[in-house]
């Protein structure tokens, strides 16, 4: 039994040491620095959006002097930011395949809020299908762990027993639990930020006001309010799709729309260019129109 624990301890120590070059310190706010993940050998660093609060950014790397970095782009909806450090020949972490990640796997959360790398041990406690973050961003998989998110750990990597990157740890979603943004989301968002400097957002071209629904409609839908269309931009996706002044939006793609924030969340980048059903109240009757979501400029 002693050998088992010794072997496990030695294996974790090696995993941390091997992964350390892929963990960065991110100094981009007044209080304690946060952490980041070396994403490419030529200096790309991924971190949490909420920890980048200044235009002056410094990156600390394993065994190297701190270097300056610039913001390539950020996506508040997934709490991700992509930086480019003035450094080359970095060592990105190898990626874990999603099919190899399971509930009960031992994992290590790594961080570098100071000079040296820090680590905390836990297990993957929950895995679910894709979900939408509070800001509307599409997260490819729900990954919850029981690791303790100490100060400075946001933006750092979660690695498996083989030292492979499972995802990026963040406390930015404010749910009081340890959540990890999986590699698939990191790849998709990083590619978009590198190419466009931003993430696409959906666009209808309307102005709305929250209103109470008639009692009969409330009982039928099980919701009390919707969004009354107060204006439609000429040539907009809304106009082309048949939405008109006076319509009340009550659902988009089967999801209830009770307030402006819900519509914003549903107009996510992955829906741009696709036709989605929008349910409206028109003349006292419910109708469903197919509207192709545009891209906000």
Residues that are catalytic: 50, 79, 154
Residue with tokens 């006001």: 209
CA distances from 262 to 34, 113, 238 (A): 31, 35, 17
Asked if 224 contacts 73 with a C-beta cutoff of 8 angstroms, the reply is no
Angle at 225 between CA 222 and CA 229, to 5 degrees: 130
Task: Pull the structure tokens for residue 11.
Answer: 């294996």
Only one residue has tokens 């545009």, namely 294
The residue behind tokens 């509307």 is 136
Neighbours of 289 (CB within 10 A): 18
Q: How far apart are the first and last CA of the chain?
A: 62
Dihedral, CA of residue 289, residue 78, residue 81 and residue 113, to nearest 10: 170
């Amino acid at each position: 039994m002693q050998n088992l624990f010794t072997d496990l301890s030695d294996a974790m120590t090696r995993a941390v040491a091997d992964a350390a070059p892929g963990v960065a310190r991110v100094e981009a706010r007044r209080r304690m620095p946060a952490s980041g993940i070396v994403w490419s050998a030529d200096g790309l660093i991924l971190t949490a959006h909420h920890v980048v609060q200044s235009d002056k950014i410094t990156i600390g790397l394993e065994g190297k002097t701190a270097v300056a970095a610039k913001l390539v782009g950020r996506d508040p909806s997934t709490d991700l930011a992509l930086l480019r450090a003035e450094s080359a020949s970095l060592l990105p972490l190898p990626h874990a395949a999603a099919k190899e990640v399971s509930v009960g796997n031992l994992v290590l959360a790594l961080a570098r809020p100071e000079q040296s790398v820090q680590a905390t041990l836990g297990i993957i406690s929950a895995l679910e299908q894709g979900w939408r973050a509070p800001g509307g961003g599409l997260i490819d998989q729900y990954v919850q762990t029981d690791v303790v998110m100490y100060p400075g750990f946001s933006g750092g990597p979660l690695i498996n027993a083989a030292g492979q990157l499972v995802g990026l740890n963040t406390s930015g979603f404010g749910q009081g639990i340890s959540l990890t943004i999986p590699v698939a989301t990191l790849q998709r968002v990083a590619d978009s930020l590198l190419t466009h400097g931003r993430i696409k957002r959906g666009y209808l071209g309307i102005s709305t006001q929250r209103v109470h629904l008639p009692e009969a409609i409330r009982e039928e839908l099980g919701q009390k309010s919707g969004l009354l269309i107060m204006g439609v931009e000429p040539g907009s996706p809304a106009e082309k799709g048949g939405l008109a002044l006076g319509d009340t939006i009550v659902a988009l793609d089967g999801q209830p729309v009770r307030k402006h924030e819900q519509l914003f969340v549903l107009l996510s980048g992955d829906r741009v260019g696709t036709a989605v059903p929008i349910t409206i109240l028109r003349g006292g009757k419910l109708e469903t129109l197919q509207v192709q979501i545009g891209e906000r400029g």
